[in-house]
Amino acid sequence: MAGLKYAVHAYAWTNSWSNDTLDIIDKAKALGFDLVEVPLMEIEKVDAAAIKERAGAVGIGLCTSTACSETTDPTGEDEAVRAAGLDYLKQCIKATVDMGGSVFTGVTYSAIGRKITGRPGEAYWERAASVMKEAARYAQDHGVTLGIEAINRYETFLVNTTDQALALMERIDEPNVRVHLDAYHMNIEECDFYAPTKKAIPHLCHFHLSESHRGTPGTGVVDWDGIYKALGEANYQGIVGMESFESVSPAMAAATCMWRSLAESSDQLLRDGLAYLKSLEPKYYS
């Protein structure tokens, strides 16, 4: 059977992570997930020691993610903003280490939701790569993989496709930098699901198994067979996960724009979605 490690994003249950929501770790374990994806957008609320203690007691793994903001934008024209971006990424990497995680990913290369008036030129790519290279070296010293998540054109101007994520990874040119895919975004930006997934797998650190409407996997138009076929053919053994939002975090509201419920409850969405995704494994993993 497959060695896929299923994560669940904490925003499935809460719109703001803090010590008041540590019971999410217990809920994730009870539903059958292997990891909790801890959001670091509000880094000041993240108590890494408390998270590590709770996860250890429950017996579940941890990974982390974020989305840079206008004040921490690695592509920012202002050198001070880029410096703040590097400092923020280092804070996130340190928090990941302190809670016992080893994969930190997300929109680590630019401010989520930022709009520009034309195609991004060389300067944007170079600024993003320069900041991320320094962050990657810091992460490497701490045993952390740094991921680049490709997201849709309405949420970033820079990395929308697998090819663009791989291009930025190659430009950064550090051994611990990897690619992060998300089926929700792929449904908007890619021509299919199988080929980009297969191309990314040698460099993949995470895959958000999000439905086309961010609801329960198997109820939208994502080609799950194409994704699992590619994962199975390459015998991918890493992290995959559900990123479905029942309520939207203020930190993500402008980008996510999800203003309706997509299931009776978060637990129901996650339970049904995880069961559906796991049902695909025997077909594509021997």
234 — pLDDT class (breaks 50, 70, 90): very high
Is 243 a catalytic site residue? yes
- Residue 246 confidence (pLDDT) above 80: no
Catalytic residue among 134, 189, 190, 243: 243
- Whole-prediction pTM value? 0.94
pLDDT over 90 percentage in the chain: 87
Q: Is the dihedral of CA 194, 197, 199, 202 positive or negative?
A: negative
Spatial neighbors of 152 by CB under 8 A, at least 6 apart, are 160, 184, 185, 188, 189
Between residues 249 and 136, which one has the greater pLDDT? 136
CATH assignment of the domain containing 64: 3.20.20.150
- Where b means 16+ CB within 10 Å and e means fewer, 67-106 reads bbbeebbbbbeeeebbebbbebbebbbbbbbebebbbbbb
Q: Are 13 and 246 in contact (CB under 8 A)?
A: yes
- Residue 255 confidence (pLDDT) above 90: no
Count of domains for the chain? 1
> What pLDDT does residue 134 have?
98
Is 189 a catalytic site residue? no
> What pLDDT does residue 258 have?
61
- Residue 16 confidence (pLDDT) above 60: yes
d(CA 264, CA 243): 16
263 — pLDDT class (breaks 50, 70, 90): low
Catalytic residue among 37, 134, 149, 246: 149
> Residue 215 sits in which domain range?
5-284
Q: pLDDT tens for residues 182-225?
A: 999 999 999 999 999 999 999 999 999 999 998 899 999 999 99
Q: What is the mean pLDDT of the chain?
A: 94
Q: pLDDT tens for residues 33-91?
A: 999 999 999 999 999 999 999 999 999 999 999 999 999 999 999 999 999 999 999 99
